């Protein structure tokens, strides 16, 4: 897929890999990185690529849900929550890969209303579109 126009581009640089630092060129992001104990690291105070991907996907998905709610002419509550869990593992061929679980809670919405918004958002969210067909994504609508 090729974009016809780019509205915004975030740019970061990382030094030191999983035990390093992530910096955005605009200075808004300055994070220490550390490897979790589960991956053989010290489990230091920094974040990691899986957490950063989860945060990005959650934020992007919530934005797509807001767009879907406008199109559906419903008001999305401010307390709407998207929780993303990104798992790192190996596939049957021994290659590293990711899996994603998105848990979505929309207070005051019926399960059917929430499911419709979630499905619409999943079709338009740039993160969901970027990983479609390459990463297993489980969508869970919570009560």
* pLDDT tens for each residue of 50-91: 999 999 999 999 999 999 999 999 999 999 999 999 999 999
Domains, the chain, in order of start with CATH, read 9-47 (2.20.25.10), 49-142 (3.30.300.20)
Q: What is the C-alpha to C-alpha distance for residues 57 and 138, in angstroms, rounded to an integer?
A: 13
Q: Which residue has the tokens 């509550």?
A: 77
Confidence of residue 118 (pLDDT cuts 50, 70, 90): very high
Say whether pLDDT at 30 is over 90: yes
Give the pLDDT confidence score for residue 129 in this predicted structure.
Answer: 98
Say whether pLDDT at 1 is over 80: no
Q: Percent of the chain scored above 70 by pLDDT?
A: 100
Q: What is the C-alpha to C-alpha distance for residues 103 and 105, in angstroms, rounded to an integer?
A: 7
Give the pLDDT confidence score for residue 143 in this predicted structure.
Answer: 85
Rounded average pLDDT over 105-111: 97
- The rounded mean pLDDT for the chain is 97
């Amino acid at each position: 897929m090729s974009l016809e126009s780019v509205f915004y581009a975030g740019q970061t640089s990382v030094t030191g890999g999983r035990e390093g630092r992530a910096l955005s060129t605009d200075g808004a992001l300055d994070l220490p990185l550390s490897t979790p104990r589960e991956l053989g690291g010290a489990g230091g105070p920094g974040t990691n690529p899986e957490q950063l991907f989860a945060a990005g996907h959650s934020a992007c998905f919530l934005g797509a849900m807001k767009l879907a709610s406008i199109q559906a002419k419903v008001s999305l509550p401010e307390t709407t929550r998207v929780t993303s869990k990104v798992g790192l593992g190996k596939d049957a061929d021994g290659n590293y890969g990711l899996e994603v679980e998105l848990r979505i809670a929309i207070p005051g919405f019926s399960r059917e209303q929430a499911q419709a918004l979630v499905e619409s958002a999943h079709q338009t969210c740039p993160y969901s579109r970027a990983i479609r067909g390459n990463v297993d994504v489980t969508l869970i609508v919570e009560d």
